[in-house]
Amino acid sequence: MLELHNVSKWFGGLPALQDVSFCIDPGRVTALIGPNGAGKSTLINCISGVDRAQTGSILLAKRPVEALPAHEIAALGVARTFQNLKLFARLSVLDNVLTGLTVSAERSFTVSMLRLPALRHQERQLKKNGWRWPAPS
C-alpha cells in the first residue's frame, strides 16, 4: 500500500531522515514510534506532501507521490492530523470532521458558494454514511 525507498531529508546540514525504507501492507494498523526529534513528523510531512524529501521515493499503491502537491496526495486517500490542531471554533464537532472530508467532494465552486441542492445532498450523505476512501489507482 505504502512504500518508502531511501527517503532522506536534511534541515540545513542536519539530517532529520536518513535512508528511510519500509513497506506498509493494506488492512493493517501500523505505528511509527521514536523519541522526540527522531523524525516522525518530518516523515509524515513528506508522505503527505506537506514537506519534500530531498532523496528517495514514496509510492502509494505503486504510484510515485513524492512530487505531488499535498491536495493531490490527500485525494488519493492519504489523511493526516497535526500535532497542533487548528479547529474551526465556530463549527460543531461534526462540521469540523466533515471539513476534513471535503477533499472527496465532487462539487464546483459555484455549487459550494450558492449552496445548491447538490451540495446539501452530499452533506446529508456524508453525515449519514461517512466516507470511504477510493482505492488509489
Residues numbered 39 to 78 that lie near Mg ion (CB under 5 A) are 40-41
Which phi and psi (to 5°) does residue 45 adopt?
Answer: -60, -40
Q: Which is nearer to Mg ion, 16 or 78 (CB)?
A: 16
User: Do the Cβ atoms of 97 and 131 come closer than 8 Å?
Assistant: no
C-alpha cell read off for 79: 489523511
- Tell me the DSSP string of 13-64: TEEEEEEEEEEE-TT--------TTSSHHHHHHHHHTSS--SEEEEEETTEE
Residues numbered 21 to 80 that lie near ligand ATP (CB under 6 A) are 34, 36-42
Q: Which is nearer to ligand ATP, 26 or 34 (CB)?
A: 34
Shortest spacing between CB 51 and ligand ATP, in angstroms = 8
Q: Which is nearer to ligand ATP, 39 or 78 (CB)?
A: 39
96 touches Mg ion by CB under 5 A: no
The whole-angstrom separation of Cα 124 and Cα 122 is 5
Q: Which residue is nearest to Mg ion (CB)?
A: 41
Contact partner at residue 36 from Mg ion, ligand ATP, none, CB < 5 to 8 Å by partner kind: ligand ATP
Name the site residues for Mg ion (rule: CB under 5 A): 40-41
